[in-house]
Amino acid sequence: MFKVLLVEDEDMIRRGIRFSIDWVQYDCIVMEEGLNGQDGYEKICELKPDIVITDITMPIMDGISMIREGLKRHTFSSVIISGYNEFHLAKQALQLGVTEFLVKPLEDEQLVEALESAKSKVDLLRKYEVISKHPQEKEEILSSKFLEKETKTSKYVSKMIAYVQENYAKKISIHDLVEELDLSAYYLNQKFKAETSYTFNDFLNRYRIQKSIDLLKSGDNKVYTIAQDIGFSDYKYFISIFKKYAHVTPSQYQEYFEKKQS
């Protein structure tokens, strides 16, 4: 699973991108969010993401500088999301090997295509990084599934993610997996957090909120019905969890999305 760092100083835009697609479906997970370029740079150094998606114009450090400095510490592919008046920076972005240069407002299909390109790009970057150190093994490295050891999720975490995908609409917890995987809840949670940056329960709630946002976008269901459909029996608790992750209420998000579409 490819680890993604999302860096954007505007909270609503960042949250909009964060919940715009089902990242797990594309073998990705947003491991963290950066609030500005400096914050993003520090998280690149600390978390070592596979893909960085960033705005250009941000306080303290801009996106171009963040990518440039970050690449000195870690190899990753990058996608820039820009305003219409920032195309003069495209040349600098190309010189840094930026995979995609997208323009706001961002369509979901554009983001998915950019992700696929970024995944392929980081694979190649890391293959050639290894080739530079072991030139005699060039053919073997190029023909192998090299990135698997870099981005492959462990079998335990893969099963935990799959369990969430299949059962998020039910009442579930990490304890449901203890007997199946023959491991303690403590160990599973530690393993899950080490690979995804989230606890199991945090990931479950985030995944449920992602699904609720998909339903809100369709506009076909009432909020209380959506809460039940994604595994929340307590409507008020759903509202509080939604607000925690999306920073708005479900109704406010629905209004925001409708205005965005009009």
Q: What is the 3-state composition of the chain as percent helix, strand, coil, each rounded to the nearest 5?
A: 65, 10, 25
Residues 6+ apart with CB under 8 A from 72: none
Closest C-alpha among 14, 103, 3, 99 to residue 47: 3
pLDDT score of 87 more than 70: no
Pick the residue with more confidence: 186 or 103?
Answer: 186
> Cα dihedral sign for 93, 94, 100, 106?
positive
Q: What are the phi and psi torsion angles at 35 (to 5°)?
A: -90, -15
Q: Is the pLDDT of residue 151 over 60?
A: no
pLDDT digits (tens, 9 = 90+) for 14-59: 988 999 899 999 999 999 999 999 999 999 999 999 999 999 889 9
Instruction: Give the Cα separation of 197 and 194 in Å (integer).
Output: 6
Q: Looking at the domain 2-123, which fold is it? A: Rossmann fold (3.40.50)
Question: Residue 235's pLDDT is what?
Answer: 92
Pairwise CA distance, residues 222 & 208, whole Å: 16
Q: In the chain, which residues fall in CATH 3.40.50.2300? A: 2-123
For domain 153-262, give the CATH superfamily: Homeodomain-like (1.10.10.60)
218-240 pLDDT tens trace = 877 788 999 999 999 999 999 99
Model confidence over 189-221: pLDDT tens digits? Answer: 999 999 899 999 999 999 999 999 999 888 777
d(CA 121, CA 142): 13
Q: Edge-to-edge, what's the strand order for the sheet holding 2-7?
A: 28-34, 2-7, 51-55, 77-82, 100-103
| SS3 call for 74 | coil
- In the chain, what's the furthest Cα-to-Cα distance? 62
For residue 86, is pLDDT > 70? no
pLDDT value for 1? 87
For residue 144, the model assigns a pLDDT of 58
